[in-house]
A and B are shown apart, each in its own frame.
Chain A
Amino acid sequence: MDFLRPTTWEEALAAKADRPEAVPIQGGTDVMVELNFDVRRPAALLDLGQVAELRAWGMVGGFCRVGAGVPYTTIIEELGGPLPGLAQASRTVGSPQIRNRGSVGGNLGAASPAGDSHPPLLAADAVVEVESRDRGVRMVPATAFYLGVKRSALEPDELIRAVHVRPATGPQYFSKVGTRNAMVIAVCSFAIALHPGERRVGTGLGSAAPTPRRAYEAEELLARELDWQAPLDPALLRRFGELCAAAAAPIDDVRGTAAYRVHAIGVMARRTLTWAWNDHLGRRAA
């Protein structure tokens, strides 16, 4: 197995272009587990740990541009204001050691339906910046990024450079159910983001379908019927929960049954919308 160790982004893109079969490794929290258990033996590993650019975040064109290598710990400590949904999800990842190593870029690269960062990225209309040496930059909306279980829109010669998320203009929440309180893959998860300026609510479902996905019909329901000045209508809240649950297409596995997941998605949808709505009204009143 070759171990490629670029020190700049250009070198990394060149290495990936020359060796498209190379598996990128950032924090190693997914890739190393697969190697340890001999799930795969790539011909080459492309270590991005030396590429400093990936570990920085900044504001670009009104978006928060989060480098693919920014660890969860940094997101929690520095981005809780602009990206509250993503920061909340980051807090639930693994353990302190894993949060120090793991990154959103890695989560996107692995494209597991259970990845914790996907639901808040979907709810907040994130865009993934990918790049190849020969074809340049592509901006892929998160909604178009996830193609199947552990499959993404990333081409073999491309690397994930960053994820772009507009700073929150309204409350955002993330909720997750697990079989224990930490160090566990989600049974299912849900994220919500209010976009008051557009009179719109974004959603994201995790571990509830072959890919992370949005509950479009539920979002459309709110866009149509939500009165942004008034308390939440309980009937509307219930229908929102039902449509979110209906958007799920889960499986039975060792962590939970499909029926449980559908139920829990509905609960988390109602719960996170209620939390967000209380904040929204509170903020308006303040």
Chain B
Amino acid sequence: MTTKYAETEPRQDAVKHVGRPVDRVDGRAKTTGEARYAAEHRYPGMAHAALVHATVARGRIEAVDTEAARAVPGVIEVLTHENAPAMKPAPKTSLMNLSSLASGTTVSYLATDEVHWNGQPVAVVVAETPETARHAASLVRVAYRELPAVVDFAAEEPNASPQKSSVLQPAGGDKGDAVAALAAAPVSVDLRFTTPPEHHNAMEPHATIAVWDGDRLTVHEGTQNIAWLRAHLAQRFGIPERAVRVLSPYVGGGFGGKGFVWAGTLLAVLAARATARPVRLALTREGVYRTVGGRTPTVQRVALGADGDGDLTALIHTSVAMTARIGGMPEGVVSSSRHLYDAATIHLRQRLVRLDLLANTAMRAPGDSVGSFALESAMDELACELGIDPIELRRRNEPERNPMDGKRFTHRMLREAYEVGAERFGWRERDPRPGSMRDGRWLVGMGVATAYHPSLTMPADVTVRLAADGAVVVRCALQEIGVGAATVQAQITADELGVPLEAVRVEIGDSELPAGPGAGGSAQTAGAAAGVLDACRKLKESALALARRAPDSPLRGRRLDDLEARDGGLYHGGRGETYAAILARAGRDHLEAGGGTGMLKFLAKTLNERRRWVKAASGAHFCEVRVDRDTGEVRVSRWLGMFDVGRVINAKTAAGQLRGGIVMGIGMALTEATQVDPRTGRIMNPSLSEYHVPVHADIPRIDVHWLDEPDPTMPLGLLGIGEVGITGVAAAVANAVRHATGKRVLDLPITLDKLL
């Protein structure tokens, strides 16, 4: 037995780092408080800013009275549209310049008397202390001439207009005549779902420190996109990009909320310029709600038709979501329905209403997280109608090729995910009759739903430097939003170069570094990995070239593809030499190489791939709930997620991300909703005491597993994992609640009163 074990365990796996549950390189700094987040930096003479928020949804400012605020000792300046220096307007968006997408809204803050949403900053107070600034901000009096505003999503929904398609995001589509097929289907469901607006609630509220030195600007901010932030600030303040430095080594959570540039950032920079002082603007939690967009609300219809065996004959998925008059990204709400089921006919439409609210923005799995709630709830309801097990219904309708257009999947293992997951979860214990499983006063329910999120890569420039003493430095302006960005790239580098993990240091979070991809779209790790692989290969080629010049090198005459990088050098079988030896002989103290793809080449490659392939991370959620039969309290009692996310680089951080997505999805299912006053457009619960994210006591043990099969088209075979975890979660909960109680809840969140 011992011998056999040794044979099946390749020797090099003992030293490979990819795949292992490596501790985060910055774990200690974060847990001990050594890690300094944006708001924690200090500059001599630093002043503090606070915002004054508009209290009407739409209107013109008629007068601003700043006298009382200015009279407060310690107040340095009160900036309003009457005295603030001008910023350039936000750029027109263009796919040729992706950083043009960075703008959270199109508003030129403090350059206009126009108010576009209830909460828009209309003045900024700069003072010696944060408390003084906040107090003085409360004394600014603004008189408005109110204009009619459209703020009630539910009331406006019938007036929605069709969403435009883009190259990257089709807004609809048809395959056959789904309307006729639905009408003719022997079995069908036709359901209307709603999901509320939500907010990210990253633990770190947004904060900016802006420091001007002449026409050079330094900004400390936790951002998900250093390159976009830098380009956007340069454009708005009329300085070259090279004059802007963005420092963002740690980001206390993002979830999409720090992917774009919002008012607080711009106003901190503006205030610093106006006062010639370093300025810190740390938003309160309420300030985040008032000035940083959240997830769009949706209304969705999913209608499914099937024959008696459960083969789908019709799939209709339509949605209404919002954007704001002043910006906001239209979401791909029905996107999952393009890919999940092999329906004979499909009809997809997305429509939009435009409201006088703060612009919506990306929030973890935009489109797919809300769309999957509707689609996967409807599939479950169809399974109930048909009397078929919901996993079996999905298995019968699992497509061989992408249902809308017949493109091939690079990789798809949903059948396996369900099969293995069902076994581990104990799905066969489930009695399909609703309300049949009891535990005392608790009704027990089990539900499943599919997770699905498209996979992208974004280009990254990376340099790798290897010194004669063995130290390796990888440089790339990545964003560490909690995912282990530096850790996973160190693992990849250590394996590629064959050096110890401890020898690799990854420098991230600084715009002076080679440009990284943004931390969004679950695309950062793959993009950076492509750059690291490229740079490591070039570096090894340089090392080999040096070695081959020496007559006595054992690597003489060898090609890189024949060699193995291990033990700090390059080897062919037992023969080879260390990088240190190669460098010493050549009299060099280091080697350095750069990797990455230019944007044009990258876009060409991406568009070419999209013509041929569909690729995605996916998975199967298994959820058990207990519902109190008398009070309607829902407790999630067990969870298992079985994912197909390609190759996993770090088992620990990957599990953390997938679990985090599930926790956030449980919040979406049961408690989270941003309450917007339909009369005034003002958010009514802008705090963690009134907006309820799950607490520890709401979350059971969450088992996450993955199939660990590499995707052949992705760097190292990895698929991004930041977002797939949340998709399908709300549906799995709703389906388990349906099983426990017989009640189908169509409106999120599933609150107590909906179960009575």
Cross-chain contact A181 with B631 (CB below 8 angstroms): no
Q: Give Cα A254 to B138, complex, Å.
A: 26
CB <8 Å contact, A257 and B753: yes
> Does B684 belong to the interface (CB within 8 Å)?
yes
Chain A residues, Cβ within 8 Å of B684: 254
- The digit string for A257-286, where 1 denotes a CB below 8 A from any CB of B, is 101100110011001000000000000000
Q: Is A13 an interface residue (CB 8 A)?
A: no
Number of A-B contacts (CB under 8 A): 51
State in angstroms the CA–CA spacing of A38 and B134 once bound together: 10
Would B138 and A38 count as touching, CB distance under 8 A?
yes
When C-beta atoms are compared, the residue in chain B nearest to A271 turns out to be: B630
| Chain B interface mostly | loop
Known: A177-B631, A181-B635, A264-B631. A256 touches B695 (CB 8 A): no
- A177 contacts B697, CB within 8 Å? no
Chain A residues whose CB sits within 8 angstroms of the CB of B550 once the complex forms: none
The reply on A43 being an interface residue by CB < 8 A is no
Q: Is the CB of B631 within 8 A of A267?
A: yes
Contacts of B692 in A (CB 8 A): 179-180, 184
Q: Mark A173-185, 1 if CB is under 8 A from B, else 0.
A: 0000101111111
- A180 near B630 with CB under 8 A, answer no
Tell whether A260 pairs with B633 under 8 Å between CB atoms, given A179-B671, A180-B695, A182-B696. Answer: no
Instruction: Tell me the bound Cα distance from A226 to B647 in angstroms.
Output: 67
Please measure, in the bound complex, the distance between the C-alpha atom of A179 and the C-alpha atom of B692, giving whole angstroms.
Answer: 8
Instruction: Identify the interface centre among B635, B698, B753, B756: most chain A CB within 10 Å of its CB.
Output: B753
> In the complex, what's the smallest C-beta–C-beta distance from A203 to chain B, in angstroms?
18
Complexed CA–CA distance, A180 and B671 (Å): 7
The reply to whether B752 and A177 contact each other, CB–CB distance below 8 Å, is yes
Q: How far is the CA of A184 from the CA of B687 in the complex (A)?
A: 12
Interface 1/0 per residue, B673-694 and A, CB below 8 Å: 0010000000011010110101
Question: Cα distance A38–B698 when bound, in Å?
Answer: 31
Q: Specify which chain B residues have a CB less than 8 angstroms from the CB of A33 in the assembled complex.
A: 689
Q: Tell me the nearest residue of chain A to B675, going by C-beta.
A: A254
B residues within 8 A CB of A180?
Answer: 670-671, 692, 694-695, 697-698
A187 at the interface (CB under 8 A from B): yes
Shortest distance from the beta carbon of A260 to any chain B beta carbon, whole Å: 4
The minimal Cβ–Cβ distance linking B53 to chain A, given in whole angstroms, is 13
> In whole Å, how far is B703's beta carbon from the nearest beta carbon of chain A?
20
Whether B751 sits at the interface, judged by CB under 8 Å, is: yes
For A182, give its contact among B689, B697, B753 (CB under 8 Å): B697
- Residue contact A260 to B671, C-beta cutoff 8 Å: no
Interface residue count for A (Cβ, 8 Å)? 23
Q: In the complex, how many angstroms separate the beta carbon of A93 from the nearest chain B beta carbon?
A: 13
Q: Judge whether B751 and A267 touch: CB under 8 Å.
A: no
A256 touches B753 (CB 8 A): yes
Contacts of B753 in A (CB 8 A): 256-257, 259-260
A184 neighbours in B (Cβ, 8 Å)? 692, 695
Q: Once bound together, how far apart are the Cα atoms of A38 and B675, in whole Å?
A: 21
Smallest CB separation, B254 vs chain A (Å)? 23
For the complex, would chain A's binding face be called helix, strand, loop or mixed by DSSP majority?
loop
Minimum CB–CB distance from A88 to chain B (whole Å) comes to 16
Q: Is the CB of A254 within 8 A of B685?
A: yes
User: When chains A and B are docked, how far (Å) is the Cα of A182 from the Cα of B671?
Assistant: 12
For A36, the closest partner residue in chain B by CB is B284
Contact B690 A181 (CB under 8 A): no
Name which residue of chain B comes closest to A184, CB basis.
B692
Q: How far is the CA of A238 from the CA of B679 in the complex (A)?
A: 42
CA distance A254 to B671 in the complex (A): 11
Cβ contacts under 8 Å, A254 to chain B: 675, 684-685, 690
* Nearest Cβ on chain A to B201's Cβ, whole angstroms: 13
A residues 182-207 touching B (CB-CB < 8 Å): 182-185, 187
Would A179 and B752 count as touching, CB distance under 8 A? yes
Measured in the bound complex, the distance between the Cα atoms of B689 and A179 in whole Å is 11
From residue B120, how far is it (CB to closest CB) to chain A in Å?
Answer: 20
Select A256's contact among B689, B690, B694, B752, beta carbons within 8 Å.
Answer: B752
Closest to B691 in A: A254
Nearest CB on A from B721, distance (A): 26
Contact of A267 with B752 at beta-carbon distance under 8 Å, contacts A179-B671, A254-B690 already known: no
Quick one: closest A residue to B698, CB to CB? A181
Of all chain A residues, the one with the shortest Cβ separation from B286 is A37
Contact of A181 among B630, B695, B752 (CB under 8 A): B695
Residues in B713-751 with C-beta less than 8 Å from chain A: 751
Minimum CB–CB distance from B615 to chain A (whole Å) comes to: 37
The CA-CA distance from A256 to B751 in the complex, in Å, is: 8
**Of listed A177, A181, A254, A267, residue having the most chain B CB within 10 A:** A181
Taking CB atoms, residues of chain A closer than 8 Å to B694 are: 180
- When chains A and B are docked, how far (Å) is the Cα of A268 from the Cα of B184? 49
Measured between C-beta atoms, what is the minimum distance from A191 to chain B in Å?
A: 16
Smallest CB-CB A-B distances: 3 pairs = A181-B697, A260-B753, A267-B630
A sample of 9 cross-chain residue pairs with beta-carbon separation below 8 angstroms, ordered by A number, consists of: A33-B689, A37-B687, A177-B633, A181-B697, A182-B696, A256-B752, A259-B753, A260-B752, A264-B631
Given contacts A177-B631, A260-B752, A263-B756, 14 further A-B contacts (CB under 8 A): A37-B687, A38-B138, A95-B695, A179-B692, A179-B751, A180-B671, A180-B692, A180-B698, A181-B695, A181-B697, A181-B698, A256-B753, A259-B753, A260-B753
